[in-house]
Amino acid sequence: MRSNFSPLEQPAARNHISASWTKTKIKQNEEQENQNLACPEDNRRREQRISLSPVSVSSLGCPKIVERSSWSTKKTNCKSELKTPVPWVIVHHTDTLTCDTKESCTARVRSIQDHHTRSRNYCDIGYNFIIGNDGTIFEGRGWRKLGAHAAGSNSQSIGISFIGNFLSCPTIVTRRQWGGKNPTCRSNQRTPVPNVIIHHTEGAFCNSRTTCSAQVRNIQNYHMKTRGWCDIGYNFLIGEDGLVYEGRGWTTLGAHATSYNPISTGISFIGSFTNRAPNSAALNAARSLIACGVSKNLIKGSYALKGHRNVMSTSCPGNSLYRVIQGWPHFKA
């Protein structure tokens, strides 16, 4: 983030955030008015105490803030005042695509405002301030109006939201790490892809890095020797050890769903999931991988999630796994 504090301006923030800011509680909090999630993909609550001395606060001054009136085309009818100084600052992410110019960030803030006012029936965008990846700070409800970003804590906090999805990417076991052979040929994949296709390998289960690595090597042998392909067909594989195994990766064309190969990332759960679903470690790893792909712009933000059976005549990814992914965001048969 850019730091553009003007040394001439007074640190007005001190008037709005309480003196106990020296031990401010920063919460990434999922609660919200109407019981919706402010950070919808991330239910984990993280609390962290930071120590910021009064000296460092007073030397910061105030950054330039894009006033609400200069980006919003809507009139707000929010009535509730926020009693200041507040004891907390609550940090969010918008869980949307990121933005890196003032224009693209303005468009993003407007669409979040639309979502909050139309779909959630809020009086305005929920956050007090919104920050783009270019360093632009947008005034949402500002310092004086009660926010709608952390139910139960709105009256005690200023809610600041960073535009983007900042879920961390899962650990990926590289080809080298699982003992993969080099591919015999490769083609580039055009990214971001509009689809994610879920498979199961329909073979043995595995729940340790040793057994999953061995299983991935078996599958690669089968795809290369028996089927005569250049490489293991899938872009990624997921073990019940909760790890992601690199197949062809993000930027190499896969061989897993014929006509969908050039327009999808193929993710395969290691095992046969007709009569039982993969464990939660594996399911979480897959969801985290998809979120990671979106955050890196390798998967489109508007992607469709499909089972292999939705694009070809096959029972893949097994009835039990198929039932699970039908409940995931972006699923589209």
Site for Zn ion, rule CB under 5 A? 199, 308, 316
Q: What minimum distance in Å lies between the beta carbon of 268 and Zn ion?
A: 7
Q: What minimum distance in Å lies between the beta carbon of 333 and Zn ion?
A: 15
The number of beta carbons lying within 10 Å of the beta carbon of residue 132 is 24
Q: What minimum distance in Å lies between the beta carbon of 255 and Zn ion?
A: 11
Distance of CA 194 to the CA centre of its chain: 16
Give the CA angle between residues 3, 112, 93 to the nearest 5°.
50
* 108 vs 309 by CB, closer to Zn ion: 309
Q: What minimum distance in Å lies between the beta carbon of 230 and Zn ion?
A: 18
* 282 vs 316 by CB, closer to Zn ion: 316
* 130 vs 311 by CB, closer to Zn ion: 311
Distance of CA 266 to the CA centre of its chain: 19
Q: What minimum distance in Å lies between the beta carbon of 102 and Zn ion?
A: 44
CB-count burial class (<10 Å; 0-12, 13-18, 19+) for 257: buried
* 27 vs 306 by CB, closer to Zn ion: 306
Q: What minimum distance in Å lies between the beta carbon of 200 and Zn ion?
A: 7
3-state helix, strand, coil in the chain (%, to 5): 30, 20, 50
* 119 vs 313 by CB, closer to Zn ion: 313
Sign of CA dihedral 128, 133, 137, 139: negative
How is the beta sheet containing 88-93 ordered, strand by strand? 46-49, 25-28, 88-93, 157-162, 129-131, 137-139, 65-66
DSSP 287-321: HHHHHHHHHTTSEEEEEEEEEGGGTSSS-TT-HHH
Q: What is the amino acid identity at position 54?
A: P
Q: What minimum distance in Å lies between the beta carbon of 32 and Zn ion?
A: 38
* 122 vs 269 by CB, closer to Zn ion: 269
* 93 vs 308 by CB, closer to Zn ion: 308
Q: How far apart are CA 25 and CA 50, in angstroms?
A: 7
Structure tokens at 209: 């890095």
DSSP helix/strand/coil, 246:
strand
Q: How far apart are CA 212 and CA 172, in angstroms?
A: 13
Q: What minimum distance in Å lies between the beta carbon of 201 and Zn ion?
A: 8
DSSP 77-122: ---PBPPSSBSEEEEEE--S----SHHHHHHHHHHHHHIIIIIS--
* 152 vs 203 by CB, closer to Zn ion: 203
